[in-house]
Amino acid sequence: MNESVKVWKEISSYIEASMSTVSYEMWFGKLVPLTIENNKLILVAPLVSVKRTVDGFKDTVIKEAIEKSGTYISDIVVVLEEEAEVYKPEKEPAPIEKPVEEDNFRNVLDPSFTFDNFVVGDCNNIASSAAKAVAENPGVLYNPLFIYGGVGLGKTHIMQAIGNYILSADKNKKILYVTTEQFVNEFVDSIMKNKDNKLNKSFREKYRSADVLMIDDIQFLANKTSTQEALFHTFNDLYQNKKQIVLSSDRHPKELTFLEERLKSRFQSGLTVDITNPSVETRVAILRKKAEIKKFRVSNDVIFFIADNITSNVRELEGALLKVMFYCDLMGKECNVDVAKEALKDYIDVTTHVISIDNIVDATCTYFNIKRADIIGKKKVKNIVNARQIAIYLINDLLGIPLNGIGDYFGGRDHTTIMYARDKIGSLCKTDPLVQAQINDLRAMIQKK
């Protein structure tokens, strides 16, 4: 099988799994793999509209598919048939065999993930400062560095920015960035295909010879006892040799209940920092930065419209901006709020009030007839504590805000206090009809606000 066809088959399988069959066939099903040049896969599109639409997915769906595929491809370039002649080789060259050492540490980092284009706000300033300190002195400060937060908030960006910064200072540094899924798959392969212990040895050498090891989404180690054992020994070896370790997760190490205690202890031995949902000011700054990078002229009205309606994470913000950009381009329309609403009509319900943490707290105060200062404050009167715990449960359930972020809102309470309130109300919802009714009433109130 032609190398470009083989690689495209692997990457496209992940793209197909991320969207509807109709959308995939309409856009990606029409692409034909041509060749591979400088680690870039060249695809031929039959129409300009197909090329434009596929290009619109490069920073989202395509990037994610490339990462999941684990191939050596760094990017996908889509060309029209009349441009294809430039890329056609007389004969596709045979792949060049690389030394194992070189292959282990080939740069899989996305060069666009840098500190310069990472927008810093109240939600991530501590994580950003810690990451820069690690990048400037790997293995010296904050080892390990553990970054946690919800989906799409920039954990991957900041991790890869560390790697790119270190490589810019020293090209010989061995930077190893992998997802937990990749780490698990390689470990399983090393067991299943083990012949004379060569693969096991290769696995150990690869991970223990890194200068910097970064593992993304460590929460996916759940129920993988043998892999946890392998990571434990890898961690110890790197740490003892003063090699930098950076980990990310969707939750604090204390909440990784499926991990062995000795691993959790190692993870918390360095610095643990969180990234929370961006404030409206940060969301506006992010959108402006993304528009600047894309060279897309967009008014403040459109920026604020998107920022007000997309509150969950950075990835969705960027996706919404891209959709507006390509809608304007394809339809030949000037970008304004009305056009943005039209472009995003299937993305957000522009007639529905956007729920915020303030909405939930205000509705809870009204429902239980208590003051806002009391529910956020330190009072421990039974009715106030009950209302506070219900508000905490609803904030976590409806907005998905990390526990530390909720704790900060409620006067700097510890994340374990917030976790207790959430779990208590969650259990009562299943067993206590009164609590069930209160939660249902509040949900209705919040949705109508």
Summarize pLDDT for 6-42 with one digit per residue, the tens. 888 889 988 888 887 777 887 888 899 988 888 889 9
Average pLDDT over residues 332-355: 73
Give the model confidence (pLDDT) of 77-103 as tens digits: 999 887 777 665 544 454 444 454 555
Give the model confidence (pLDDT) of 388-447 as tens digits: 999 999 988 887 777 877 888 888 888 889 999 999 998 898 888 899 889 988 988 887
> Which pLDDT score, from 0 to 100, does residue 100 have?
47
Q: Please, what CATH class does the domain formed by 3-96 belong to?
A: alpha beta
Q: Are 358 and 409 in contact (CB under 8 A)?
A: no
Q: How far is CA 341 from the centre of its chain?
A: 26
> Which pLDDT score, from 0 to 100, does residue 96 have?
47
> Which pLDDT score, from 0 to 100, does residue 129 have?
94
> Which pLDDT score, from 0 to 100, does residue 101 have?
53
Average pLDDT over residues 343-364: 74
Q: Where are the alpha helices (DSSP H) in 56-154?
A: 63-69, 100-104, 125-136
Q: Are 275 and 124 in contact (CB under 8 A)?
A: yes
Which residue did the predictor score with more confidence, 348 or 244?
Answer: 244
Give the model confidence (pLDDT) of 160-189 as tens digits: 999 999 999 998 899 999 999 889 888 888
Neighbours of 129 (CB within 10 A): 12
pLDDT at 193 over 60: yes
> Which pLDDT score, from 0 to 100, does residue 448 have?
66
Which residue did the predictor score with more confidence, 366 or 152?
Answer: 366
Strands 212-216 and 32-37 come out as unpaired
pLDDT at 196 over 70: no
pLDDT at 307 over 50: yes
pLDDT at 195 over 80: no
φ, ψ for residue 348, nearest 5 deg:
-140, 155
Our separate counts of H helices and E strands in the chain read 21, 8
How much is the mean pLDDT over the chain? 84
Fold of 280-343: Helicase, Ruva Protein; domain 3 (1.10.8)
> CA-CA distance, 34 to 24, in Å (whole number)?
19
- Tell me the whole-structure pTM to 2 decimals: 0.55
> Which pLDDT score, from 0 to 100, does residue 94 have?
47
Q: How far is CA 426 from CA 328, 351, 423, 432, in A?
A: 44, 30, 5, 10
Concatenated DSSP letters of 406-441: HHHHTTS--HHHHHHHHHHHHHHHHH-HHHHHHHHH
Helix (H) or strand (E) holding 248: strand 244-249
> Which pLDDT score, from 0 to 100, does residue 92 have?
47
Closest CA to 80 of 37, 53, 51: 51
> Which pLDDT score, from 0 to 100, does residue 145 have?
96
> Which pLDDT score, from 0 to 100, does residue 146 have?
96
> Which pLDDT score, from 0 to 100, does residue 222 have?
82
Average pLDDT over residues 198-223: 85
Fold of 125-275: Rossmann fold (3.40.50)
Neighbours of 304 (CB within 10 A): 15
> CA-CA distance, 368 to 155, in Å (whole number)?
38
> Which pLDDT score, from 0 to 100, does residue 98 have?
47
Average pLDDT over residues 123-140: 93
Domain 357-448 of CATH type 3.40.640.10: no
> Which pLDDT score, from 0 to 100, does residue 194 have?
65
pLDDT at 375 over 90: yes
Give the model confidence (pLDDT) of 220-240 as tens digits: 888 788 889 889 999 999 999
> Which pLDDT score, from 0 to 100, does residue 351 have?
46
Q: Are 143 and 211 in contact (CB under 8 A)?
A: no
Q: Where are the alpha helices (DSSP H) in 246-299?
A: 261-267, 280-294
The domain ranges of the chain are 3-96, 125-275, 280-343, 357-448
Give the model confidence (pLDDT) of 275-291 as tens digits: 988 887 888 888 988 88
Which residue did the predictor score with more confidence, 240 or 198?
Answer: 240
φ, ψ for residue 394, nearest 5 deg:
-70, -40
